[in-house]
Homo-oligomer: A and B are copies of this chain.
Amino acid sequence: MPEKQSPPVLPFGIARLGYVERFTPDIDRARAFHVDTFGLQISAEDERHLYLRALHERGHHSLIFAQGPEAGAGALGFRVAREEDLERAHRWFTGRGLRAEWIERPWTARRVLRAADPWGVPLEFYCGMTPMPPLHQRYRLHHGARPLWLDRVCLRTPDVAAAVTFYGALGFLMSEAVREKDSGRLRVALLGNFGTGETLSLVEGAGAGLHHLSWRVETPAHVLDFLDLMATTGHGEMIEHGPGRHGISNALYLYLLDADGHRTGLVCAGARPPGPDAPPIVWDYDDPRWQSLWGTPPPPGWSERVMPFIAPAPSARRAGLGSQGRAPVRRV
């Protein structure tokens, strides 16, 4: 008889990754690339903000650009299962001495809990976002990388094992990992919510930062089409790594580096998360195939280059984080 593996009873229920916030010194440049070339769709914009979603997303936005003095990563937003999970989450963070405050965000239900993990990564929890009409069958609009949904965020963290413990307490199960053979030290971990795909990967490095966020695309054919487009429209320099297949997760990948120094990934065709009944797959750190199954190593600077998490400028916060009623952003 097999042993049962069950998820722990959780302090609050996280349903899925919802959005990522970025600060950029040049919002027009951000729009030019992410909308006109990459293929995200604008849900709302004003002079200082851009709310974008991908082609299979029904929530109002999954990527927020806010104009700021410098480029940086803002909050990672997670949708909780029920309204009462927000209260539970507030108690859980404050009970551990971690920052947790109520804020408002446009197109996001009533109140948003803004907290931080022990390494200062800003986490936001919300319950509900303005729904948008489906775009998945409006094929005339599909272009560029044809991004389907925000698939995962990859954090650089100084202590992967500790981060796995922290996020594990919030319900993230580890599905794959990379360990040093001799020391047993955990170098990389791939985490997912119970029942959904992996949405969080953790890689070891000095200081917390956003290593990349990745968008799901439909097939490798679309990744190759996008490479051709990039290379022949003056965007060839942005191609940083790939196409290749990660051993870990088995995803086919392509990584781009934009003018802000931010890394955007495309992923498709990965393995199904193993679910509750199978132990994590563990790779040896010295086997380069965990990173690149086909053998092309990542370029120099791959590990070092991350986007720091920064606090929003006070003025930006006033504008973009106000209640929806007062928000200056224009609904499109």
Q: Is A232 positioned at the interface, with any CB of B under 8 Å from its CB?
A: yes
In the complex, whether A259 has a CB less than 8 A from a CB of chain B is no
A168 within 8 A of B: no
Question: A69 contacts the other chain (Cβ, under 8 Å)?
Answer: no
Once the chains are docked, how many angstroms separate the CA of A137 from the CA of B148? 25
Across the interface, A140 reaches (CB within 8 A) one of B2, B130, B193, B233, namely B233
Is A3 interfacial (CB 8 A cutoff)?
A: yes
Give chain B nearest CB distance to A142 CB in angstroms: 8
Known pairs A7-B81, A137-B293; A194 contacts B271 (CB<8 A): no
* CB proximity of A280 to chain B, nearest CB, Å: 10
The reply to whether B278 and A132 contact each other, CB–CB distance below 8 Å, is yes
Q: Out of B82, B128, B278, which one reaches A131, CB within 8 Å?
A: B278
**Set of chain B residues within 8 Å of A225, measured between Cβ atoms:** 139
Of residues A81, A216, A231, which shows the largest number of chain B Cβ atoms within 10 Å of its Cβ?
A231
Interface string of A37-64 (1 = CB under 8 A from B): 0000000000000000000111110000
A138 cross-chain contacts in B, Cβ below 8 A: 232
Among candidates B2, B140, B279, B324, residue contacting A1 with C-beta atoms closer than 8 Å: B324
Nearest CB of B to A252, in Å: 7
In Å, the complex CA distance between A148 and B293 comes to 19
Name A's interface SS: loop
Binds B, one of A180-188, A242-250, A301-309: A242-250
A269 to B217, CA, bound (A): 10
Q: Mark A293-325, 1 if CB is under 8 A from B, else 0.
A: 111100000000000000000000000000010
| Cβ contact within 8 Å between A128 and B219 | no
A43 to chain B, nearest CB (A): 12
Closest to A140 in B: B233
User: This chain: how many copies in the complex?
Assistant: 4
Q: Which residues of B contact A275 (CB under 8 A)?
A: 15-16, 58-59, 79
* Interface status of A239 (Cβ within 8 A of chain B): yes
Whether a CB of chain B sits under 8 angstroms from the CB of A149 is: yes
30 contacts between A and B (CB under 8 A): A1-B324, A3-B128, A6-B82, A6-B83, A15-B275, A16-B275, A56-B272, A58-B274, A58-B275, A58-B277, A79-B277, A130-B277, A131-B279, A137-B271, A139-B233, A140-B229, A140-B232, A140-B233, A195-B195, A216-B272, A219-B220, A219-B269, A224-B245, A227-B245, A230-B294, A231-B245, A231-B295, A239-B294, A239-B295, A296-B296
Please report A residues at the B interface, Cβ cutoff 8 Å. Answer: 1-7, 9, 15-16, 56-60, 79, 81-83, 107-110, 127-132, 134, 136-140, 148-149, 193-196, 216, 218-221, 224-225, 227-233, 236-237, 239, 243, 245, 247, 250, 252, 269, 271-272, 274-279, 281, 289, 293-296, 324
